[in-house]
Structure 1
């Protein structure tokens, strides 16, 4: 469990470039205290959604977006009046402009409201409307791409219709993206729509269709291709998908960025000075983000050695295209970015959105500083996506094979059940007597994991210097988490994306350290080289700085909306485990750091994180230069966890503690063995828990979690063999 690597992203922990969690917006709004001025505006706006005048219906859709933006309380107020159902009904409106604005309002609702809103949309039948719209959009795109409308290209009507198409396509695809990330149920509904044809078609026509809609397509493809086998299969079997993805991944994004930058400057006039924003300093960013997302889609879909890999050679694409692109995005000065964000926040317009709802209200209106903040967020989101792709590349351990199943497994289970019934009447000494001999304890030590990273380990460690750069990206800033009180972040979108960026950097670093540690047994001479390539002390100090910063506000760890603090804390512990495994003798360890690892277990929620912590303590306690006092502190605590009659350990934690104790005291020649293990009567303590351990292992249902049961049985057998071995030394 401690060796967990990260290939898949949990949907709930992915940063949506436009989505700000409700809890980041401040306790007042989260508690449902809607702005009275906005509440007064609500009913007239809802009534206009059914107005016979299409202009009123269009305006109402835009007004709803402006009122609910980053305001959970007002959004829920509208929800209580069935705003979702009303907007879905407008998707079948006779007027294109109304359909476009309704889809935009629903898109923003889905983005702002997240899982809750997407689930409501699915329940109210949005997928049937999206299916119809996808068909219309797809056929119209065919017309544009084939040039059939060249004769109309000079008419104002054509340009207006084309704009409506692009806006509608972007909104619909963004809705598919949000629905795909909401829940397994909504993901299944999106899979049933078979949207891969439209998404690939949009990428194929990216030059004519523009950045907005093609970026939305790339985002949808990226989300749908993660941990979603049905969609991956449909995508790679699409006749032109793989070639299109490769073309986008390899195409230089700079010309598209320059073209978009020129368009954004054109026509600004005096607004450029009056806004006082930083648009001249920042690239548009959408073409780069599109390219990184497509690289991620390729890595998600094409497995090394698969039939698809025979067509595209994912290893060559990774080394020639993906890694150079990702590598260029990792040197971000986050402290400087945060400083610029705080400056722009001070320059935001103070006008009340309610008084700004004039007849020309639009769903996507942004002031100059808002556009600059949006671009900064997009740049950070691009780094997050690049880190996710890098995490996949650094995941160098091949997945373990599943244990036996079918009739053979059932037969084995039956035999085991009979043995367990007999064990119920046997005491500790009887179980020790029946246990396997000490020699068996070392039988499996020669089995090493298969290491196969997406690039050579030396290139990742030395060529790209990833350990140092990922560590820098993991360091917290003043905007990394929402404040540990009822106040919102100064800029919630930046806080949301920074939290995710730190987590993704730590995940990539965790995988890199894990792959490095796993490669050492197969090549012992590489141990010193790895220690030199990995700045273990620098990573160690940085990770403890993160742990201590998060631990300085312990009350926040249990607050709603602060979940990312625990996620980052747990992943930092994974990196501590990694350096402790790679080169423990190279570390300068403070006694307080050992106590911190012991104390932090009480607040961890993940069994994987707890196991990492315990295994890190074991590595520290048995490192070459460990002191007797350090070993005693760790060993005594571990034995107390096993022998205490207080709250029982979970099965995974129990297994980790048993393995840690056996690893620490398997070599009786160590300097600390006599002073700690023998004088501390650890053997007597272990001998008295054999039946207890056997009983806890039996509670693991082998039918529901066979691997955990196998690990538990191995730990039990090793415990008995270890006890016999240590007793034999006394003779």
Structure 2
């Protein structure tokens, strides 16, 4: 959920179900003649049993890519929409909806977009009404129907819900259209309240609602207005049933869309804090399988439940960070120090002229901040973080931050242990959840003191995370680049969250130096190194590269109170990296420069005199400035707008930093 599946937007094929010429490949031509054409002919047979048998046969062929592509070439979708889905036989219709659902699952997003443009939602409305009438009928009651007929209805229901989920993942426009059809949310919540609904179907309903409610405030408001719907979700969440984690996913999407946080909700207990105990209980009481189960798509399988619980916790962490940053972003430190710079990008050619004016805005902001009393500041932060004493034994009353630290993190750590990496799906989700929690904590200012107990708890867990999760992977010198990237990202978040106060084993910092050097062979070709992607590719986030993450870890580990020898070694490495300017990736330059400026921001640090001045770092940074400016000009602002803005900003910051350090040195002398 924190890393929830995005709605894919791709260039649409002209017609993904269009009928081309017969395939030229002899094998495909043979399959078409001997298997595909006969079964399609049977699907349109006047004989009921023949049609039904053909529909079932086609449903079994869909998973094979060759068969599926050939079926699409022969316009299977047109036949389904015009004939099979309106068949007089419920068996045939059910098989037809199963075919369509499976095609949507196997094909790309543009297939669903094509279905939407073929008005498939009208067909879905029709079948939904049929299902509702069958379930609500009293003549005879649903419970009195033959078991085979009940099973058929649930199979049809599952296909309709699965197709709705696939459509919802394809495009925002489709989500909006589905949300406006009152029959569909009524149908979905009706199934949650209908006692005979199987757990598997309930899970599919909840999964569909989770997708529909992604950034969908109008639908979230509709759920809230129908109080029984929200209450039903809360009941499922507390039920202890196999569907309770899925209910947490839906509730989290509602709380996020409505922007409800711990103390900003019109309904008591309607915030992410109420979900964490259920999720933690699942993590602690569900055993993962010994092997990777990527192919297992059963919603209620233990591995799928664990993955979902971890994804929801990761998403809760991200939502909390956004709430903290957008609603309560203050700097409560009063000490004189290097404070950072303006956010707006500036033309590098104008940087020198701007230096003299720097700081006037900072003085005004400091004046405003000084007007806030400490009690006001602490009250403001406590509303969001709500720190509690160590003696509080009622997790349900603790707010989200405390629960993420004290309850969720200890439950996640065993699932992130390297020994579980054989099950890569759960291991990866656990690393992601820890990563998101650590990044959220890194955005919190603990200097006011009222969060000391939480800070202490997290410091212990951060070191435990490093020792149990990060160190073993570093020691293994893994060749798995994906794992190395995930561990480096976690290491960056953890070290940053505790200001670099991590006890390292031996030469662990050099492992990240080696990872940075190794990352050079993974990056773009030299002629593309000033951008984020090759021409014609979608722009990727250049700041998520292994190289940037490695520099980020090193920058955090070198922060005060880092020992002077370690600080010197990391500082020299960062400066050596920058000495190659402008011939290094722009994102690497931004991270390395930001790290240097953060590390040596204050003259009171022990290594300021011993390293920054005695080892000539000031002169080296001055020498880097021309290369940094050249690098900035080489980043195409039309193709890489955000990257160019970040480079321009860091170059301006470097100019100001050098002036600041020179002035600071002058005062000292």
Instruction: Give the TM-score band, short-chain normalised.
Output: 0.7 to 0.9
1:595 aligns with 2:498: no
1:325 maps to what in 2? 278
1:521 aligns with 2:447: yes
1:626 maps to what in 2? 563
Residue 53 of structure 1, CA deviation: 1.4
CA displacement 1:673-718 (0-9 Å, x = unmatched): 4564335543234334556656777899999999988866764453
Residue 519 of structure 1, CA deviation: 4.5
2:50 maps to what in 1? 56
Q: 1:512 to 1:59 in 2, by over 3 A?
A: same
1:11 maps to what in 2? 6
TM-score under structure 1 length normalisation: 0.68
Conservation of the 8 A alpha-carbon contact between 1:118 and 1:179: yes
Residue 180 of structure 1, CA deviation: 1.1
Which structure's relative contact order is higher, taking Cα pairs within 8 Å and 6+ residues apart?
1
Instruction: Select which of 295, 312, 332 maps to 1:389.
Output: 312
Measure, in 1, the Cα distance between the counterparts of 2:259 and 2:196: 32
Conservation of the 8 A alpha-carbon contact between 1:530 and 1:582: no
TM-score under structure 2 length normalisation: 0.73
Measure, in 1, the Cα distance between the counterparts of 2:91 and 2:454: 65
Conservation of the 8 A alpha-carbon contact between 1:475 and 1:546: no
Measure, in 1, the Cα distance between the counterparts of 2:365 and 2:657: 13
Q: CA RMSD in A?
A: 4.5
Alignment coverage as a number of residue pairs = 584
| Mapping of residues 345-494 of structure 1, within 5 Å | 378-395=301-318, 396-397=320-321, 398=323, 400-401=325-326, 420=347, 424=349, 430-431=352-353, 434=356, 436=358, 452=384, 455=399, 457-462=401-406, 464=407, 466-475=408-417
Conservation of the 8 A alpha-carbon contact between 1:441 and 1:718: no
Measure, in 2, the Cα distance between the counterparts of 1:237 and 1:169: 26
| Mapping of residues 250-261 of structure 1, within 5 Å | 250-253=238-241
Measure, in 1, the Cα distance between the counterparts of 2:142 and 2:623: 88
2:127 maps to what in 1? 133
Q: 1:85 to 1:478 in 2, by over 3 A?
A: farther
The answer to which of 183-192 and 585-594 deviates more is 183-192
Conservation of the 8 A alpha-carbon contact between 2:317 and 2:436: yes
1:726 aligns with 2:661: yes
Q: 1:479 to 1:65 in 2, by over 3 A?
A: farther
Q: Secondary structure at the match of 1:314?
A: coil
Where does the alignment leave 5 or more consecutive residues of structure 1 unmatched? 1-5, 14-30, 254-284, 343-369, 403-415, 481-497, 555-564
Instruction: Select which of 138, 141, 165 maps to 1:177.
Output: 165
1:338 maps to what in 2? 290
Residue 221 of structure 1, CA deviation: 0.6
Residue 73 of structure 1, CA deviation: 3.2
Q: 1:185 to 1:318 in 2, by over 3 A?
A: same
Conservation of the 8 A alpha-carbon contact between 1:332 and 1:473: no
Residue 552 of structure 1, CA deviation: 0.7
Q: Secondary structure at the match of 2:266?
A: helix
CA displacement 1:421-478 (0-9 Å, x = unmatched): xx74x6x8x548646369969977989996836835444433x2x3343232234578
Instruction: Select which of 498, 502, 518 maps to 1:586.
Output: 502
Q: 1:640 to 1:189 in 2, by over 3 A?
A: farther
Residue 119 of structure 1, CA deviation: 3.7
Residue 103 of structure 1, CA deviation: 0.5
Instruction: Select which of 169, 177, 198 maps to 2:187.
Output: 198
CA displacement 1:383-411 (0-9 Å, x = unmatched): 12212222243343225449xxxxxxxxx
2:260 maps to what in 1? 304
Residue 639 of structure 1, CA deviation: 2.9
2:20 maps to what in 1? none
Measure, in 1, the Cα distance between the counterparts of 2:115 and 2:213: 22
Conservation of the 8 A alpha-carbon contact between 2:91 and 2:152: yes
